[in-house]
Structure 1
Amino acid sequence: MQDALPGDGRLAPDLALTVRHDGHGGVADDLSDPAGLTAWVRGHADVLPVAPGYAADARDLTAVRDLRAAVRALFAHAVRPGAPNPADAARLPSAADALDRLDTAAARLPTVPVLHRGDGAGPRVGRRPVPDGDDLGAALAQAVIAFLGGPDRQRLRACHAPRCVRCFLEDHPRQEWCGPSCGNRARVARHHERHRRAS
């Protein structure tokens, strides 16, 4: 695991992106069972405090999904203050409840301050989890806090495709969608709307 808080800047968005449009008007969940969480965590093992061979159980799954709901609620609030996407609104807690969940989870993993040598700009202060701190939910919560308090939060955008429930990090100023399939779906919807108006 790296120094500083868990995560590489993409951990928080990656967690939120485990929920997506299923292509049929519904929502698909990459963390629908412990096997899905195990695969996701192993894919991020370089930035999470998990032992080699980690295998999620039902308790881990519940904790991470609860935290993910809080993350998605906070992301929805960050990109568009007000109500989240109607396709997602019933699944998300209030912003106040989401903050409480995040803070409670983050507090379970103690950290210590560390000093990093700077590259000409002087030293910088970071935080590192204490040895033997292996609470997955807490590590994820701390990564989310670091993301929401960091500069990448300014790049967080909501996907404008119909029925999409995802956010993304904007890579260029004209980016409107989280991925190509949402871009295609949005263009098809615009095409149908133009033809409906013309009729």
Structure 2
Amino acid sequence: MDTNAPLLGEPLPVELMNTIWADRDGVHDALRDPDGTRAWLRAVSARTDLMAEGDLDALSTPDLDRLRGRLIGLRDALRRLAAEATGDPRPAAVSDARELDEAVTALNEAAGDTPHWFVLSWTPGQEPSRHARSGGQAASAAASAIAGEAIALFSRDIRRQLRACLAPGCVLYFLKTHPRREWCSADCGNRARSARHYQRHRRSGV
């Protein structure tokens, strides 16, 4: 099963925020159930050293459900912080984490929930290599690592590049990594231009 979340090549905290997405049928949640959660984790697993394909397959349904709850709590906190950082005006994008301090607390707790670190291996005559270790399940450690990345994102100047996509109906976030970038995707850019064109002609009566 593939995730139905839009993966835009953004940093993992932003990709997690974007597991809430919208189309003509309304707002959707890619983490709506254990299968959706597993599919999203599988889709991003290559982007973290802490989680391999087999780690996801080994998760029991109760473990996966607990992890789903953690990811949703983290996502709600991140979307609240993103709304604060961007001045997000979109009603449909509002997070369940209503207060800023509540979101900060949830993020900090998620970052420390599952300890993780890296160790060096170096056998004489071979190249040195780095290996991930964690104090719990690998997928849980990956969730904590995403929280750690989010702390770095919001505490550094890069947060000023974070944007809410203001295309009609969109609830996604993105990093403005190019001066001319205005939307999360080309599709949203096309929708926004079409909407502007429609409004201009409507006002002019053409």
Relative to the length of structure 1, the TM-score reads 0.75
2:65 paired with 1:72:
no
Cα deviation per residue 1:64-106 (whole Å; 9 max; x = unaligned)?
11110111111111112xx641112264432221111111121
2:183 paired with 1:177:
yes
The structural deviation recorded for 1:153 is 2.2
Distance in 2 of aligned mates of 1:48 and 1:93: 32
- 1:29-108 map, 5 Å: 29-46=29-46, 47=48, 49-50=50-51, 52-54=54-56, 55=59, 57-80=64-87, 84-89=89-94, 91-108=96-113
Distance in 2 of aligned mates of 1:151 and 1:88: 23
Match of 1:121 in 2: none
The more displaced of 137-146 and 96-105 is 137-146
The more displaced of 148-157 and 185-194 is 148-157
Which structure has more RCO (C-alpha within 8 Å, separation ≥ 6)?
A: 1
Amino acid at match of 1:35: D
The structural deviation recorded for 1:44 is 2.4
Amino acid at match of 2:32: S
Match of 1:13 in 2: 14
- 1:98-137 map, 5 Å: 98-110=103-115, 131-134=134-137, 135-136=140-141, 137=143
Name stretches of at least 5 consecutive residues in structure 1 with no aligned partner. 1-7, 115-127
The structural deviation recorded for 1:9 is 7.6
The structural deviation recorded for 1:130 is 5.9
Cα deviation per residue 1:159-186 (whole Å; 9 max; x = unaligned)?
1212211111113112111012211211
Q: Would the alpha carbon gap of residues 92 and 198 (structure 1) be closer, same or farther in structure 2, given more than 3 Å must change?
A: farther
The structural deviation recorded for 1:113 is 9.7
The structural deviation recorded for 1:112 is 6.4
Partner SS for 1:44: helix
Amino acid at match of 2:86: V
Partner SS for 2:39: helix
For the 8 Å contact 2:76–2:96, the answer to whether it is kept is yes
Amino acid at match of 2:79: R
Distance in 2 of aligned mates of 1:61 and 1:113: 25
Cα deviation per residue 1:16-52 (whole Å; 9 max; x = unaligned)?
122212234x212222211121122122224153352
Instruction: Give the percent of matched residue pairs that are identical in Structure 1 and Structure 2.
Output: 38
